[in-house]
Amino acid sequence: MDPADTKILFIGGTGYIGKFIVEASLKAGHPTYLLVRESSLSHPARSPIIQKFKTLGVNIVLGDLYDHESLVTAIKQVDVVISAVGHVQLADQIRIISAIKEAGNVKRFFPSEFGNDVDRTHAVDPAKTAYQVKAKIRRTIEAEGIPHTIVSCNFFAGYFLSSLSQPGATAPPRDKVVILGDGNPKCVFNKEEDVGTYTIKAVNDPRTLNKILYIKPQENTLSFNDLVSLWEKKIGKILERVYVPGDQVLKEIQESQVPNVVLAICHAVYVNGDQTNFEIEPSFGVEASALYPDVKYTTVDEFLNQFV
């Protein structure tokens, strides 16, 4: 199918991961639409992104997640809806589902996921509650019979690898590295641009219909210990490894004055191995790098080179 025949509407397209998926949509040749609140046009952070997208050929559609009529009108113009709303608005995607049902023309809906598989997690609060919201949206989509694809891309390389998950760091460590748990469970890191590319590849693919698209390339799946060893090899230096036992991590999460969602997610992944402790069964999922071998994704090895 010609990409020009599939129009895509983005809701939350100026957010962290949304920007990358919008750019991937444009690059693939899809007519690309962005739902924008009028207030965002003058928002200091969002306005430059919107202007850049306009220049690149994105169709700006004025509307609001909380204005049902404007949402239905926007959705009626397209074939596919991709939501990349932030965590505060996750539960409000029920409004998108309602508008999709009324519009009646959507061939595929991608809810805001882009992380761990929330149906196969052992996360503790506060991450557990956030995951339950995503899971509830999944169940609603299924109950309403809306054609959909869930993208589970695990960890963003730009967010987690740029500091090797060291709290407060802006670059990978050069002396000492803190490792949660024993560092042996395997985890998955994907560059944000690749998440965008794979997501857009799935838009018209019947193999991803009503399935979870896992982005788990073999070269990007490694234990934290292996990750540190890879970094050590690049910088020609052995780091002091400080291991924090899993129960100590749990204690930190529970005693944190402010809810520490990121630490709870890191506990689920680095201690529990939630990204790799299950098999992808054809009944519920497919793996992106296997489906699209033509995509030249950035490996963890390649990604770390910029910090050497």
Contact status, residue 40 vs residue 46, Cβ threshold 8 Å: yes
Q: For residues 194 and 191, what is the distance between their CA atoms, to the nearest angstrom?
A: 5
Q: For residues 64 and 36, what is the distance between their CA atoms, to the nearest angstrom?
A: 7
Beta strands in 130-224 (DSSP E): 149-152, 155-156, 176-180, 186-190, 211-214, 221-223
Choose, from 7, 134, 191, 201, the residue flagged as catalytic.
Answer: 134
Q: For residues 27 and 21, what is the distance between their CA atoms, to the nearest angstrom?
A: 10
Write the single-letter amino acid at 308. Answer: V
Beta strands in 54-210 (DSSP E): 59-62, 80-83, 108-110, 149-152, 155-156, 176-180, 186-190
Q: Give yes or no: 191 in active site.
A: no
Q: Which residues are catalytic?
A: 134
